[in-house]
A and B are shown apart, each in its own frame.
Chain A
């Protein structure tokens, strides 16, 4: 422990020498999320100028935590989708999975007010995982193309949600029977909503899972070179099933938190949420061809999307332009990622040429 602190002390001292500053500067610039971080700063500056919201301006604790809370659902979905994208897959059924668990848990909670509400979180995770498992089975074992498989289940799960609710709304008045249910998402710790805490905690867990555990590393391996995974003695189908199951479980959790947060649910909830979540992943540098992506950069992606949505909402008369603007920004982000990769690849080729 003492050694640890002296090490940190030395590093700290080194950072203030000339070489230290240079080395650290280089490290910061080479950090894959550097560009994204810069744009987040720009958005924050713009927010300071434009956000004249009278009740809860962004730069007040209330406004800030509300913004984070509003977007935590997307963060959960994006965390799951990252898993799938790493394997070179795709999942567009998470919005529907969210609807299934939101509807199921709401109905269960409303009709069984005496059961402790925490149970519904586990129920939602199990249902979501089951939905994800079906996706994984279709894609891993039956070799259906991911986009097509999840396109099918996207409609199927949405239909399932409709069957469950019978097409009716579960209204705020119904939720009054279970006042505890609202606390799942809306209770606060240090002023921040529990839904944000949960999303943040799970993102960190995901980051550790991806870097330090064997199954986590296998996700990257499958995404880079499936054949080599077989040669290395693993079964790619099982790894994919795991990825989709995790993704589904997170979407399921997002469903119950959504219901708890908004207290107003029908089978149409969460529509197009998967698209925003995928956009967050892409902006956060998760490669859609697999094998590349980091949880820390995804966090930046989530913050970027959160702040950007807020910004586009508060500029007066801008609401009409919001979607168009978002689309263009996503394309720019993707463009930057591609050029970055190309520049890096070129630099590597040149370095290789010199070595020869």
Chain B
């Protein structure tokens, strides 16, 4: 008993008729980093909510430091020393860093009013002990995701957390920021904090984990010692079958140049950017978040404008006025945030698919031909192997990977020449990633020119034909994938 700080036995949780957790057991050793892996929907989020007391299990036992506990809310669990950093930071954007750190744990004066100066001092000290220079008076919304996570960690430390749960903390971090986070977690580990680390990235696991537990389809699959486990075994445990190649191979057939960007600049964002992309080619645009990758692509797509420079499409100079114009010219963009900007989450799938090509389905005047819409959507979705009950269901009922396929379907409904994909596999599980890569390959084989923005090195190396690395608004390097290595890309993106 004493060997584990936290033990869960046979936890069952159901929502209506859906079993979110089916007799799951889990043990956490003191001072270890324990990775929790599994596809989206495997029950990881429900699992941590049960540990923190946001949800109560239907049956099963939880032992914390050898004693059985029943947490009814997060106040109880955090008092006991369990802190959680959620995937979507559960903070208060318009409040200050100080207030976020001390939320529900405020330092009060004798009159039970806020002791602001004491809290400011304490939060400054905490942040400094983590090697961070964040201003405690800054508002949370002025910080980047990485800095917000540091604040969340400071918050956990201010409560003397014994167990820290991190739910996909690296999902929206760049490689460089990840390294910083790893270093920070190492410090915490030395201080004796046990951590449960949820991730989809194998890099995180290799770098941090002592042990790994895998969930699949709401059931517990197994716990493995990090030493001596093979990647293929883990993947097999996670997806339930052997996945031969995460990055499917393809026959590259590169044709003529489709899009060329010459010396484009936008003050404050990027400067003197030149690159081209050819027919049937996948060009990866990588670099740190904030290096101007998305901004360049948004400018090509007409969301923003260039201050200087020229863009050529099939040899002819073009001046994109707005996204509508870009689509007419044959340039499409798959936005980074599929839920916010990519999809109309609560409208049926077929309406999403035809949203970008409405005039294709007009009968008379502006009345839509619903049958034709549904037909087209069904055809495209079938090609993309979309798993949905029907195209009349809304995308909100789909998993992240399938939602992304709907966004692809939307683009494919137009006849496009250039596809710009902004982080196409962000936050989706490994099996869905694999099928997205297959789609990208097929699209390239059909003769599309593809620009893929990505922060994940293995993905860039596995999918792209050519790589452009950006650094603080400049192009730092351009290389063919066959000459590239992770180290080369990393060097180019952080070199000062």
Spell out A's residues near B (CB within 8 Å).
208, 211-214, 217, 220-221, 223-225, 227-228, 230-234, 291-292, 348, 350-353, 355-356
Min C-beta distance of A157 to chain B, whole Å: 32
Q: Is the CB of A224 within 8 A of B268?
A: no
Q: Name the one of A230, A234, A356 contacting B144, with C-beta atoms under 8 angstroms.
A: A356
A68–B412 alpha-carbon span in the complex (Å):
65
Q: Name the one of B94, B114, B288 contacting A356, with C-beta atoms under 8 angstroms.
A: B288
A234–B291 alpha-carbon span in the complex (Å):
39
Chain A binding site: helix, strand, loop or mixed by DSSP?
A: helix
Nearest A residue (CB) for B108 = A214
Contacts A350-B268, A353-B290, A356-B290; A212 near B103 (Cβ below 8 A): no
A352–B146 alpha-carbon span in the complex (Å):
11
A-B contact number at CB 8 A: 76
Q: Is the CB of A232 within 8 A of B103?
A: yes
Nearest B residue (CB) for A351 = B142
- Does B99 belong to the interface (CB within 8 Å)? yes
Q: Is the CB of A234 within 8 A of B104?
A: yes
A223–B95 alpha-carbon span in the complex (Å):
10
- Does B204 belong to the interface (CB within 8 Å)? no
Cβ of B108: which chain A residues have Cβ within 8 Å of it?
Answer: 214
- Does B91 belong to the interface (CB within 8 Å)? yes
Cβ of B268: which chain A residues have Cβ within 8 Å of it?
Answer: 350, 353
Q: Name the one of B92, B104, B144, B472 contacting A225, with C-beta atoms under 8 angstroms.
A: B92
21 A–B pairs (Cβ distance < 8 Å), ordered by A: A213-B112, A213-B114, A214-B106, A214-B108, A221-B92, A224-B92, A224-B93, A225-B92, A227-B90, A228-B90, A228-B92, A232-B75, A232-B90, A291-B92, A291-B95, A350-B268, A351-B142, A352-B144, A353-B472, A356-B144, A356-B291
Question: What range describes how many residues of B lie at the interface?
Answer: 20 to 34
A157–B44 alpha-carbon span in the complex (Å):
49
Q: Is the CB of B103 within 8 A of A356?
A: no
Nearest A residue (CB) for B102 = A217
Cβ of A227: which chain B residues have Cβ within 8 Å of it?
Answer: 90
Spell out B's residues near A (CB within 8 Å).
54, 73-75, 78, 86, 90-95, 99, 103-104, 106, 108, 112-114, 116, 141-144, 268-269, 288-291, 472
Q: Is the CB of A224 within 8 A of B90?
A: no
Cβ of A234: which chain B residues have Cβ within 8 Å of it?
Answer: 104
Q: Name the one of A221, A352, A353 contacting B95, with C-beta atoms under 8 angstroms.
A: A221
Cβ of B78: which chain A residues have Cβ within 8 Å of it?
Answer: 233
Q: Is the CB of B91 within 8 A of A233?
A: no
A350–B472 alpha-carbon span in the complex (Å):
12
Q: Is the CB of B90 within 8 A of A356?
A: no
Min C-beta distance of B411 to chain A, whole Å: 27
Min C-beta distance of B294 to chain A, whole Å: 12
Min C-beta distance of A240 to chain B, whole Å: 16
Cβ of A233: which chain B residues have Cβ within 8 Å of it?
Answer: 73-75, 78, 104
Min C-beta distance of A342 to chain B, whole Å: 13
Q: Is the CB of A231 within 8 A of B94?
A: no
Cβ of A211: which chain B residues have Cβ within 8 Å of it?
Answer: 114, 116
Cβ of B114: which chain A residues have Cβ within 8 Å of it?
Answer: 211-214, 217
Nearest A residue (CB) for B52 = A231
Min C-beta distance of B171 to chain A, whole Å: 17
Q: Which of A231, A234, A291, A355 has the most B CB atoms < 10 Å from its CB?
A: A231
Q: Name the one of A208, A220, A221, A231 contacting B54, with C-beta atoms under 8 angstroms.
A: A231
Min C-beta distance of A103 to chain B, whole Å: 38
Min C-beta distance of B392 to chain A, whole Å: 28
A208–B112 alpha-carbon span in the complex (Å):
12
A212–B86 alpha-carbon span in the complex (Å):
28
A234–B90 alpha-carbon span in the complex (Å):
13
A291–B91 alpha-carbon span in the complex (Å):
13
Q: Is the CB of A232 within 8 A of B104?
A: yes
Cβ of B143: which chain A residues have Cβ within 8 Å of it?
Answer: 352
Contacts A217-B99, A231-B54, A234-B104; A224 near B74 (Cβ below 8 A): no
Please list the 4 inter-chain residue pairs (A to B) with the smallest Cβ-Cβ separation, ordered nearest first. Answer: A233-B75, A356-B290, A212-B113, A291-B94
